[in-house]
Structure 1
């Protein structure tokens, strides 16, 4: 058995001089990168976003980690898809491995985590919580729960209790967090779409050059087939029809 999550949190916060409150916050990848940097001192920390908030930034951090492990001939698969979801169990297991590796390889040298980050901001990462946790006792949002014969309205006031205001503030915080998460997903979508578009243009240009020379390349044709393939039931909209609909609207 490895260390508990509380023990690991205390260790990583002290080592890196950060203030994480949950082990799943390590799913942003920044802490893992700097733990490795404390061992080897050669991780390109300027490429690591310690205050990453969006999944595409998490993935970029893990790419730095993967490159560093490979460069030091560390044969350790990284379950990136699981870790970036910021789930407790996945990150707990990976952090336990990181701690064992650190114990076995850290040479005891002085390490200044703040200097290595060159003063880059380190915000405590947030984890996305369910919007409306289910409850079998009382009201669905926990407002006025346990009170028989009626409900306390959100805008009401009950002597000696700040529960309604706290619930509203909690929900507002979740809405803000979900809005930020949605913005990140949209940026991630646009990021990968732009890459696919660049690939499409590059492949098309190369195909046209080969056609002019009377040649063909099956690999390029296969790439085009993948780019233009669609799922069952999905039809690519006709630009002319789409334009007419927009004008009518």
Structure 2
């Protein structure tokens, strides 16, 4: 090995060690901020307090996160990643509606177990830009697509996602806003079942899951609709016949 090659390898090793050390320090600061947030709320998370708790000087916070808002964004992202880790994904659940209920319960339970962190996650604008938040929403959309494929979905997929997400977030934030003696578990159950009733059918609209079953169901209902012209109905019927034949 030439001296130049050895020098390059040594420089790469030094950079790797430095990056690892920086990430470890960054994680220590995030954990210190979460501890302060949990014990004292958002106002307790000052750059000086976090630096002291992490054993650093305040300027280190600015080098790592830019400013306090950057630190809070990192804390929220950490929260979304922790939430994502609690989610169970079954690509073929035996009962997609029970799977929906279970996913909703997991979201609410995480919020109730981490009230200060959850409040930060869902009351700051960082939420929708979080990579972990987006991954979590993909899991939710997978559940919704399975409901749709089985003929269980009552509303549009995007609206279903909004209802599910909004009811879970509303349930947690409402519960946390109540005094201890006013917290009735029936509130959470009722909100969950209201969500299920709003986004799913009591019986599947499609008897057989999959494109062929959906095509047969739509073909059967086609004569009752008046939105399409006769020519458009004929074309759609031809497409549906092809899809139905594949089943």
Q: State the TM-score, normalizing by the size of structure 1.
A: 0.25
Q: TM-score, normalised by structure 2?
A: 0.25
